[in-house]
Amino acid sequence: MDGPELWKQKRNGWIPDLSVIGMGRVGLVTALSFAAKGHRVLGVDLDYRMVAKLRKGQAPFFEPGLHELLTKALDSGNLEVSEAYDERLLPARIHFICVDTGSADGAAIDLTNLRSALRDLSPYVRPDAVVALRSTVPPGTTEAARRLLSKNGVGPSVTCNPEFLREGSAVEDFFNPDRVVLGVTTEEAREALLALYLDFPGTKMVCHPRTAEMVKYTSNALLAVNISFVNEIAGICEKVGADVRIVSRALRLDHRFGPHAYVEAGLGFGGSCLPKDIAALALVAKLVQQPTRLLVAARQANDAQRQGVIDRLLDRLGDLDGRVIGIIGLAFKPNTDDVRNAPGLEIAQGLIRLGAWVKVYDPLDEHETFRHPPYEVARDIYEAADGADALVLANSWDGLGGVQMERIRSLMRRPLVIDGRNVFDPRAMREKGFEYIALGVGDERQPLPYGSFDKTFAEPGELILPRSSWDGLDSMDKDGFAA
Ligand SMILES: NC(=O)c1ccc[n+]([C@@H]2O[C@H](COP(=O)([O-])OP(=O)(O)OC[C@H]3O[C@@H](n4cnc5c(N)ncnc54)[C@H](O)[C@@H]3O)[C@@H](O)[C@H]2O)c1
């Protein structure tokens, strides 16, 4: 009797057709979504506390719709979870690898977990199975994984099937992908994955694994560049009395960019993916001697957005030592409790270094992700505002518009608000007595800092920028390589 038969006998016929290795933000959504589609999924994660929680039906992090999906998967019997690799994995025809591939500081590639996951999985993968890398990996990783899993030239088909879900709408995105990218080298893998995704919408793209790996990096890099670009535009808007919110809306109405274009000004990108993936792509580019000026600039511009908030606070409040600053919204974007590389958290850390007393509030605090000293965790937005010299709005959420701003105003020591999400109407906030700074929203009543063009029109002529105006660009690292 071979492994699967033995296992089948032992487990009264519960046979997984899929396995998911790494049940984090990508893996759990992948496992639950395929379970909802009727597959029997065995999820493996070394984090035994998280596995115990999952068995009890508790989602380890917040994501809209995830809890319901978990309940459904457990009730239907389509999901089993395990903290160990063992023979229960043997019958699965497709194994999805969803482990984290970032370094500890979230800045570059770290394939340690991927390598150990593949090694641990290796004894339980049948030669006719498909291993699909869903983790984001540099070009060449899928081929290396295939070699690692092969014995004497025989082994499973290893493919790259990158995930594009957005935290905050991960479940929705999983069921409605814009495209499904399949980086495959065998006909068996191609057929198996096309059959698996048959009833998913979105274009199915079949390509070489290296191209699939590049698709994922390129997608995240472009999102990052877009965000940094619009944040630079926001800086200009603010100074010339224009409104970046309208500029962004106009871009979205342009079919060349589209209604979902990532062109919202704010505190910059965060999360586990964009910072890590542009750093990783810059590193890959460096290895092949290809300049990446835009990636480097996107990262620098992103850091400047965080520093910009601290500079504004220094500008308004002077010394920040002993100042009380409330940070509202710590997660890196709405509808998630993920604080990896979150702007609010990075700004809080910068302020603490300057001696400020930081109070934080986030509505998803119930998940305890935010309970990292040394800042004070407020129970609500009013507690965060109480006695504050300034509030920084670093994230938004449904219901934020219903907050009693007059009450906030009366609680604050100084009614200074920096709105990093452009949630409120600047005019209404100023009428309520706030010193309100909206990123990228200037005051069109103010004279332009460089004077008017009246003279130019009176005496027609060219507006010539002195050569020195380009100094900023010239001073950029010539090769554009990441340091
Ligand atoms: N978070 C996103 O929005 C997103 C979107 C698309 C792609 N990705 C990519 O997907 C991958 C996973 O990201 P994530 O956000 O889900 O990470 P995560 O940190 O939330 O989850 C990773 C999980 O893998 C587990 N793990 C680590 N090593 C393991 C091993 N050897 N065996 C079994 N389990 C192991 C960890 O315990 C953890 O639960 C990364 O490569 C990431 O770049 C993430």
Task: Kindly report the protein residue whose alpha carbon is nearest to atom 20 of ligand 1.
Answer: 24
Domain membership flag for residue 471: no
pLDDT digits (tens, 9 = 90+) for 427-454: 999 999 999 999 999 989 999 988 877 7
Q: How many domains does the chain fold into?
A: 2
Answer yes or no: are the C-beta atoms of 167 and 25 closer than 8 Å.
yes
pLDDT digits (tens, 9 = 90+) for 176-215: 999 999 999 999 999 999 999 999 999 999 999 999 999 9
Residues 128, 234, single domain; the answer is no
78 contacts: CB under 8 Å, gap ≥ 6:
35, 36, 38, 39, 40, 41
At residue 254, what is the residue type?
A: D
Q: How far is the CA of 45 from the centre of ligand 1 (A)?
A: 10
**3-state SS class at 96:** strand
pLDDT score of 375 more than 90: no
pLDDT score of 318 more than 80: yes
Ligand 1 atom having least distance to the Cα of 117: 31
Q: What percent of the chain has pLDDT over 70?
A: 90
- Check which CATH number belongs to the domain holding 410 and give it: 3.40.50.720
Residues 129, 229, single domain; the answer is no
Ligand 1 atom having least distance to the Cα of 25: 16
pLDDT digits (tens, 9 = 90+) for 333-342: 998 989 889 9
Tell me 358's DSSP state: E
Domain that holds residue 258: 219-438
Does the Cβ of 47 fall within 6 Å of ligand 1?
Answer: yes
166 contacts: CB under 8 Å, gap ≥ 6:
173
Token pair, residue 63, equals 């994501």
Q: How far is the CA of 260 from the centre of ligand 1 (A)?
A: 26
Does the Cβ of 21 fall within 6 Å of ligand 1?
Answer: yes
Does the Cβ of 338 fall within 6 Å of ligand 1?
Answer: no
Of 207, 239, 274, the residue at which a domain comes to its end is: 207
Nearest one of 103, 480, 28 to 277, comparing CA atoms: 103
Nearest one of 403, 442, 409, 414 to 426, comparing CA atoms: 442
425 contacts: CB under 8 Å, gap ≥ 6:
none
Where residue 402 falls among pLDDT bands split at 50, 70, 90? confident
Substitution candidate for ligand 1 out of 29, 62, 273 with most atoms within 8 A of CB: 273
pLDDT score of 467 more than 80: no
Q: What is the DSSP string of 111-143?
A: -HHHHHHHHHHGGG--TT-EEEE-S---TTHHH
Does the Cβ of 365 fall within 6 Å of ligand 1?
Answer: no
Mean pLDDT of the chain: 91
- CA distances to 15, 217, 287, 436 from 340, rounded to whole Å, are 36, 18, 27, 28
* CB neighbours of residue 196 within 10 Å: 22
251 contacts: CB under 8 Å, gap ≥ 6:
230, 257, 261, 263
Token pair, residue 33, equals 């979504």
pLDDT score of 5 more than 90: no
Domain membership flag for residue 470: no
Residues 183, 270, single domain; the answer is no
Does the Cβ of 99 fall within 6 Å of ligand 1?
Answer: yes
Substitution candidate for ligand 1 out of 21, 23, 26 with most atoms within 8 A of CB: 26
Nearest one of 127, 174, 165 to 146, comparing CA atoms: 127
Helix, strand, coil percentages, rounded to 5, for the chain: 45, 15, 45
